[in-house]
């Protein structure tokens, strides 16, 4: 309950700030929509030159992209710690965080919460519905339960990987440039992994499991794709728990190594 109350207080403070700078809020929403729109346009352009992509039709790939947007929007809302190294390590704000009784990672996440990113999740849901109808997929009540389960698993995968990347700052005196690289790699998860060679497919599935934030769980709903991908979809929540657990352990160990900003 204490952490729930703390979450609510941070959200209220965020709302007060945004009400003061309303134009910034809507500009951020618009920029996110434009960015996601450009990614969708890219997919549509690709299919102007080919009827299928690794055996996947245009509607199926767009469906996967729609699913990809949902967990990413949730992740970007509650795990927006892209500038952790510069703000908390270089500028020394981690010292302030560690003087408070709440868990340090929880505080960092709440200080960087970004609700406008949820708009991307809503757009992704709309894209999924449109493609669902276009593909004529059957609908079952259980599909909603599985969708929520897969989204939670995908969010945990994102959270675990980026928490671990942020924690690298505890082990290095200089800010790392790995986060932008990881951001580019994650985009491969929105395409069918069978279009890549075996090495890349292995990396995206088991080492940096971004395939589990897009194409693998999305394939569960594409019944005509009832192959190894759809069978792997059941591992999405398990993969999420494992990756987030490892990321959190890496973070906690990094905090123990932290010695302050110094002079």
pLDDT in single tens digits along all 263 residues of the chain:
788 888 888 888 877 777 677 777 777 778 877 877 888 888 888 888 888 887 899 999 999 999 999 999 999 999 988 888 888 988 889 999 999 888 999 999 999 998 888 989 999 999 999 999 999 999 999 999 999 999 999 999 999 999 999 998 888 765 556 777 787 888 888 888 888 888 998 999 999 999 999 999 999 998 655 456 778 999 999 999 999 999 999 999 999 988 876 65
As a whole number of angstroms, the distance between CA 68 and CA 62 comes to 10
- pTM comes to 0.89
As a whole number of angstroms, the distance between CA 131 and CA 37 comes to 16
Q: 104-133: string of b/e by CB count within 10 Å (b at 16+)?
A: bbebbbbbbbbbbbbbbbebbbebbeebbe
211, 204 in Cβ contact below 8 A? yes
Q: ∠121-122-128 over CA atoms, to 5°? A: 90
Q: What is the pLDDT of residue 110?
A: 92
Judged by DSSP in three states, 221 sits in coil
As a whole number of angstroms, the distance between CA 240 and CA 159 comes to 9
Judged by DSSP in three states, 56 sits in strand
DSSP 8-state code for residue 198: H
As a whole number of angstroms, the distance between CA 167 and CA 94 comes to 12
Q: Which two tokens stand for residue 232?
A: 């792997």
As a whole number of angstroms, the distance between CA 194 and CA 88 comes to 40
As a whole number of angstroms, the distance between CA 51 and CA 45 comes to 11
Q: What is the pLDDT of residue 143?
A: 94
As a whole number of angstroms, the distance between CA 111 and CA 79 comes to 10
Q: ∠116-120-123 over CA atoms, to 5°? A: 130
Q: What is the pLDDT of residue 226?
A: 45
How many of the other CB atoms lie within 10 Å of CB of 33?
14
As a whole number of angstroms, the distance between CA 252 and CA 164 comes to 10
**In terms of Cα–Cα distance, which of 244, 224, 1 is closest to 102?**
1
């Amino acid at each position: 309950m204490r952490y729930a109350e703390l979450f609510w207080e941070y959200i209220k403070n965020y709302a007060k700030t945004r009400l003061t700078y309303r134009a910034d809020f809507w500009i951020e929403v618009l920029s996110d929509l434009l960015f996601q729109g450009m990614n969708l346009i890219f997919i549509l352009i690709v299919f102007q030159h080919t009827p299928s992509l690794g055996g996947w039709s245009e509607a199926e790939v767009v469906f996967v992209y729609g699913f990809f947007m949902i967990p990413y929007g949730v992740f970007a809302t509650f795990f927006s710690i892209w500038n952790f190294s510069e703000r908390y390590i270089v500028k020394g704000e981690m010292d302030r965080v560690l003087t408070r009784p709440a868990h340090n990672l929880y505080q960092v996440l709440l200080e960087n919460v970004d609700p406008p990113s949820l708009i991307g999740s809503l757009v992704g849901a709309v894209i999924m519905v449109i493609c669902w109808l276009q593909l004529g997929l059957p609908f079952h009540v259980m599909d909603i339960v599985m969708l929520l389960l897969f989204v939670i698993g995908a969010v945990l995968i994102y959270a675990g990987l980026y928490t671990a990347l942020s924690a690298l700052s505890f082990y290095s005196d200089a800010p790392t440039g790995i986060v932008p690289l990881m951001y580019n790699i994650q985009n491969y998860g929105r395409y069918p992994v069978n279009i890549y060679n075996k090495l890349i497919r292995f990396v995206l599935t088991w080492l940096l499991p971004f395939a589990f934030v897009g194409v693998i769980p999305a394939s569960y709903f594409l019944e005509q794709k009832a192959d190894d991908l759809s069978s792997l979809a059941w591992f999405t929540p398990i993969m999420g728990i494992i990756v987030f657990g490892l990321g959190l352990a890496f973070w906690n160990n990094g905090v123990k190594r932290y010695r302050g900003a110094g002079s």
